[in-house]
Amino acid sequence: MENFRKVALALILLILTLGIVVSVNLAIMLDYREPYLNSYLASILDKEELLKKSTSPKIILVGGSNVAFGLDSRLISEKTGLPVVNAGIQGGLGIHFIMNSIKDNVEPGDILILSPEYHILLDSFKNAEILTDLLILYPQGFSSISTLKEVWEINKVLPAIHTDIVRNNLEIQLTHAPTPTPSLLNEKVYFRAAFDPETGDITTNTSDIAIPYTQTYQMEQSVPNPDLYANIRFLNEYASQMKAKGAQVYFLFPAIITIEDEETQIKLQKLNEILAQDLDMPLLNSWDEAQYPSVMIFDTAYHLNSQGREIHTLKLINEICGANSDLDCEQ
């Protein structure tokens, strides 16, 4: 018992130390964040305000960029009669942060539609650079971090990111160098103002930007695997907390390019079966119903263009209206 207490105390001290180191570094970098406040990730500042000011009951769309690109909140609101907030930004932020970042703004009567991408559902947290970049813009987001792994990974990448940010800012100040010309995608899509301030959707008509996407999608992770079951436990606990607040929770398979790889098809079918059996929330669709041909894909396997977004949205409306008798859906 004494050894257990010592180990527990050591872990607590480690977590506190890492947390303090991360917090201090983030606080220092706040002085250098100004050039990045129009970045794509900075949209979380607007989405949080949108969640706070939206009246309940409301529908909250939760996931990575497949949600940001793939759903039309105005159309959902028109058909369901409820305000809709699209909280989707980037899957690389990790499933824990994505879910935790909206839970303080969930109110009784709200409807949560969870649609995480496959790579964050099947893996543990890995992409600390993206989350760290976001925390520099949104330091209050540190409260949404719930695992030691997240803190540890952030702590590992912070020094390099800190150095890069300070160096870049000094170069701009000392040389008066102009801001680099943004690429077509960064100029039209991947920046803060590309999001609708009233819904959180990406508003760019992506069907008008000709970027033929022809890559195939192959799932690298095995199904099942330990990370999947850990994430299912997390989602079930999360759903329980949201239901205790009076909210309803649903799962939506993410929009993705048509799967042609046979091994990936088998994995996704197995994943579908596991989620149907183990998730403590209704599934609004199946994996194969969320596939879209390449003509409806924008620039990644998970990003629908405007044409695909409309179809994916209409499918969701049909499913949520059928699953929820409380909704007075417009036919």
Domain ranges of the chain: 40-145+183-323
Q: What is the Cα–Cα distance from 98 to 41, expressed in whole angstroms? A: 13
By the 10 Å C-beta count (0-12 exposed, 13-18 middle, 19+ buried), 90 is classed as: buried
The residue assigned the tokens 């098809």 is 265
| Distance (Å) of CA 227 to CA 29, 30, 121, 144, 235 | 32, 34, 8, 20, 12
Question: Per-residue confidence of the chain (331 residues) as pLDDT tens digits?
Answer: 555 554 444 444 444 444 544 454 544 445 555 667 888 999 999 999 999 999 999 999 999 999 999 999 999 999 999 999 999 999 999 999 999 999 999 999 999 999 999 999 998 877 778 877 777 788 787 778 777 777 767 667 565 554 454 444 434 343 444 444 444 455 678 889 899 999 999 987 665 665 667 888 999 999 999 999 999 999 999 999 999 999 999 999 999 999 999 999 999 999 999 999 999 999 999 999 999 999 999 989 999 998 999 999 999 999 999 999 889 887 6
For tokens 């924008």, name the residue. Answer: 298
Model pTM? 0.84
What's the rounded Cα separation, in Å, for the pair 90 and 93? 6
Beta bridge partners of 20: none
**Cα 2 from chain centroid (whole Å):** 42
d(CA 246, CA 137): 31
- Topology, domain 40-145+183-323: Rossmann fold (3.40.50)
